[in-house]
Chains A and B, each alone.
Chain A
């Protein structure tokens, strides 16, 4: 941009404003980390002594372990199913033109725009009507609906970088569609597939509303947190929050690293084509 009309003062004011916005966004996250080590039950300033009693309280709570187990089971299965479904939808959108494609793509991407209370109520009513509610698989069914669009978006973005003639070239060289899929398309999408696995898992880990509606007695960890929130003040929420934050961040950073490699990987992933055929 030209230097005309620039004012250092306003530039710095805007930078300061950006910092303030980040402070607002990260203040609650940082506070929950700090107060998870605070000895006082009722959190305030000045801080009480450093302590890990709340970590011990959480570690000794069988309900938390049960919730964590449910969350992990659901998260792993959801990520695999949602990524597989999302990959298929993204590939369909990439390769085919057909009547009703707008409807197809809309159906694939719409679920995140429906408020979770409505989704939760609809799923609860529907699933209990067909005797599928109140179990871990109810949570899995619901979370796949909510996570598949993210997987589809991630894979679709990667596919848009693939030259369609790559696949056609493989067919011309005698590969069947299945072989071309296995040796060309999947290797090309591999970083996006792993990113989708991690992102969908992270989304499932944090989802509490729909899980609260459909899980019945098989509560996941976020649903337990909702329960804690309804009860009295408990620093346990901070402990669980810190733990879940670290777990989610690990997944997101892994996904980020995989997606960052995208640019360099595009030439590399094309190589196995020759070996495979």
Chain B
């Protein structure tokens, strides 16, 4: 079996050339060295020990035993899991009517504008938007000032799960809408027409024809929302109050407040394992019984 073969017969140069390596090697070297190696280093680091505020290379399972033996860790773990799962469900539900409307109810030109506007938030500072939500949600902020005009409130919205969710939705809504939109746009229109011709009602068409046809995209969108929110420390800290902490807050605290990096590495590895498990489950669910 040839190791290297070009797509076109005319260009078949079946050897490794300087030319080819010039283009392929930089990415390989850079990402092996500065992406894969640091992640693998986390595994080694999680077995290091800390003595007199100094880290020493070691093979000591102590960090694992201590972290996994703490109820604080497990509370944070399940709390983070529940928050991210709720965010995935809530954001997907909020995004779907929006993506559906953009895909099926807007003109071609309006749709292109909508997509452009959805991309903008990726290039605005997430920190600034979170700070801005503080202005909206605080006890004497904009929303409570409006409520006060009609004699209600003030409502404590900041430093609560509600605040965290607002931040999570801010972070992930544009991406979820875009991913849902792209899968909805590729739903076979004749399927929908067929459903209509067979006198299938509007809602039934949506839930029994369109949603199953776009299932892969919808599940992937929810998965990305889960990944984004699972690792986010800004919203739970600055909108949710940070207490009790999520795993990402635990990592920043543990890392920034001294030399307990090996323990932070344990948390990080637990997060990676969880993300891999969730991603694997979501992808196999998304592609299951597609041909039905």
Given A5-B201, A225-B125, CB of A89 within 8 Å of CB of B24: yes
Once the chains bind, are A99 and B131 in contact (CB under 8 Å)? Answer: no
Once the chains bind, are B135 and A35 in contact (CB under 8 Å)? Answer: yes
Given A117-B268, A124-B255, A125-B38, CB of A28 within 8 Å of CB of B133: yes
Once the chains bind, are B271 and A118 in contact (CB under 8 Å)? Answer: yes
Task: State A237–B132 Cα separation when bound (angstroms).
Answer: 9
Asked if B151 is at the interface (CB within 8 A of a chain A CB), the reply is no
Asked if A55 is at the interface (CB within 8 A of a chain B CB), the reply is no
Q: Chain A residues with Cβ under 8 A from B261's Cβ?
A: 121, 124-125
Once the chains bind, are B193 and A18 in contact (CB under 8 Å)? Answer: no
* B39 and chain A: residue at smallest CB distance: A122
Q: A31: which of B100, B106, B135 is its contact (CB, 8 Å)?
A: B135
Given A21-B94, A98-B4, CB of A121 within 8 Å of CB of B268: yes
Asked if A218 is at the interface (CB within 8 A of a chain B CB), the reply is no
B interface SS class: helix
Once the chains bind, are B129 and A111 in contact (CB under 8 Å)? Answer: no
As a 0/1 sequence over residues 146 to 180 of chain B, the CB contacts with chain A under 8 angstroms (1 = contact) are 10000000000000000000000110011001000
* B27 and chain A: residue at smallest CB distance: A89
Asked if A217 is at the interface (CB within 8 A of a chain B CB), the reply is no
Q: Chain A residues with Cβ under 8 A from B231's Cβ?
A: 114-118
Once the chains bind, are B127 and A225 in contact (CB under 8 Å)? Answer: yes
Task: State A129–B130 Cα separation when bound (angstroms).
Answer: 33
Q: Chain A residues with Cβ under 8 A from B52's Cβ?
A: none
Once the chains bind, are A142 and B205 in contact (CB under 8 Å)? Answer: no
Cβ of B223 to closest chain A Cβ, rounded Å: 10
Total cross-chain contacts (CB, 8 A): 274
* B127 and chain A: residue at smallest CB distance: A225
Once the chains bind, are B202 and A7 in contact (CB under 8 Å)? Answer: yes
As a 0/1 sequence over residues 1 to 29 of chain A, the CB contacts with chain B under 8 angstroms (1 = contact) are 11011010011001101100110111111
Once the chains bind, are A85 and B140 in contact (CB under 8 Å)? Answer: no
* A165 and chain B: residue at smallest CB distance: B8
Once the chains bind, are A92 and B20 in contact (CB under 8 Å)? Answer: yes
Asked if A240 is at the interface (CB within 8 A of a chain B CB), the reply is yes
Once the chains bind, are A28 and B129 in contact (CB under 8 Å)? Answer: yes
As a 0/1 sequence over residues 105 to 116 of chain A, the CB contacts with chain B under 8 angstroms (1 = contact) are 001101101111
Q: A92: which of B24, B197, B238 is its contact (CB, 8 Å)?
A: B24
Asked if A202 is at the interface (CB within 8 A of a chain B CB), the reply is yes
Asked if A258 is at the interface (CB within 8 A of a chain B CB), the reply is no
Given A29-B132, A42-B140, A117-B233, CB of A5 within 8 Å of CB of B97: no
Once the chains bind, are B8 and A241 in contact (CB under 8 Å)? Answer: no
Once the chains bind, are A108 and B27 in contact (CB under 8 Å)? Answer: yes
Task: State A111–B35 Cα separation when bound (angstroms).
Answer: 7
Task: State A229–B234 Cα separation when bound (angstroms).
Answer: 10
Once the chains bind, are A229 and B119 in contact (CB under 8 Å)? Answer: no
Asked if B87 is at the interface (CB within 8 A of a chain A CB), the reply is no
Task: State A88–B29 Cα separation when bound (angstroms).
Answer: 12
Asked if B185 is at the interface (CB within 8 A of a chain A CB), the reply is no
As a 0/1 sequence over residues 1 to 37 of chain B, the CB contacts with chain A under 8 angstroms (1 = contact) are 0011111101100000101101111111011101111
Q: Chain B residues with Cβ under 8 A from A119's Cβ?
A: 38
Given A213-B255, A248-B123, CB of A21 within 8 Å of CB of B132: no
Q: Chain B residues with Cβ under 8 A from A165's Cβ?
A: 8, 10
Asked if A173 is at the interface (CB within 8 A of a chain B CB), the reply is no
As a 0/1 sequence over residues 102 to 118 of chain B, the CB contacts with chain A under 8 angstroms (1 = contact) are 10111000000010111
Once the chains bind, are B123 and A251 in contact (CB under 8 Å)? Answer: yes
Given A1-B189, A96-B24, A226-B127, CB of A17 within 8 Å of CB of B272: no
Which residues of A are interface residues toward B (Cβ below 8 A)? Answer: 1-2, 4-5, 7, 10-11, 14-15, 17-18, 21-22, 24-29, 31-32, 35, 42-46, 84-89, 91-92, 95-99, 104, 107-108, 110-111, 113-127, 129, 141-142, 144-145, 148, 152, 164-165, 167-168, 171-172, 177-178, 181, 202-203, 206, 208-209, 213, 222, 225-226, 229, 237-238, 240-241, 244-245, 248-249, 251-252, 256
Closest 7 CB pairs of A and B: A115-B231, A241-B128, A28-B132, A14-B101, A126-B38, A88-B23, A89-B27
